[in-house]
Amino acid sequence: MFVDAEIAAHLEATYAWRCAQYALAYGRLNPPAQSTAEPLGGGWLLYGGAAAPINRAVGLGFNEPVSSDLLDQVENFYHQKGSAVRIDLCPLAQPALQEQLFCRGYRLEAWYSMLVFPLQDKEPDVPVPEDIRVEPAEADQEALWVSVVARGFAGTREPGASPDMQEIIRPTFHSQGARLYLAWRGDQALGGGALIPYGPAAECASASTLPHARRSGVQTALLHARMQAAREAGCRYLSVVTSPGSLSQQNVQRFGFSLAYTRAVMALPHRLEAGNTGGRP
């Protein structure tokens, strides 16, 4: 699939919306963190606490001009909160954003792959196991969904996951517009994931499988279900964000997703803090 600046703008807007709703939900669940998301320049300024990995500006460089004043506002926002300054950079954003970041001394800190599937295309012939079913997670299944997804990410077989991991996962369940899913075999939940539709694009997020159920088709079933839901929501594109060269990227490419572009996390060196490396929710 060829991705131009117009399509990239849709993908980045959906990604930025998801991140913003995650930050706002985190703030509602954890008031002491003073987590927030403030709109600026067609994107969002995310903050989740002094050293939170979500602290960065997202979605800049598409819908509004990039100016020195805009970047001053970004930097002042994080300086006032005592946080490192980070900005997500899409290679298809306005060239002025990249130029100004380089002039201001930002350096590359991390890469993320943006993968996309055009929903008008036919799904690839990847069989979904007959014994795996995917159902929407209901409001009273919050604890189950959070536990399963957190245990999948942590790679633990234990009945519970660490409170820290569950705290990271929980805001997605409470994010505005998020659709949550559980994958089942019989009466056992084996995995979970989320879909966030926004405009013409939808993003798959927070998908994981319990360690003992991996390589059994759980992720294939979750992808298939979310693809159908995105179509029903009227979306034209379905996206996934992964680490470059990861097993997650390999899995979604097997399902027909293609690499749209690689997003960079840019940071001001003199504001970097140990242990805060531009992670994503």
Query: What is 146-179 written as a DSSP string?
Result: HHHHHHHHHT--SSS--HHHHHHHHHHHTSTT-E
User: CB–CB of 57/265 below 8 Å?
Assistant: no
Q: Both tokens of residue 94?
A: 């306005």
Helices 163-173 & 142-154, crossing angle to 10 degrees? Answer: 130
The Cβ of residue 39 has, within 10 Å, a number of other Cβ atoms equal to 11
Q: What is the pLDDT along the chain (281 residues), one digit of tens a residue?
A: 899 999 999 999 999 999 999 999 999 999 999 999 999 999 999 999 887 889 999 999 998 999 999 999 999 999 999 999 999 999 999 999 999 999 999 999 999 999 999 999 887 777 888 999 999 999 999 999 999 999 999 886 666 668 888 999 999 999 999 999 999 999 999 999 999 999 999 999 999 999 999 989 999 999 999 999 999 999 999 999 999 999 889 989 988 999 999 999 999 986 544 444 444 44
pTM summary value:
0.91
| SS3 assignment, position 36 | strand
> What domains are defined for the chain?
5-112+262-271 (no CATH), 133-235 (3.40.630.30)
Pick the closest to residue 18 from 164, 203, 272, 165 (CA basis): 203
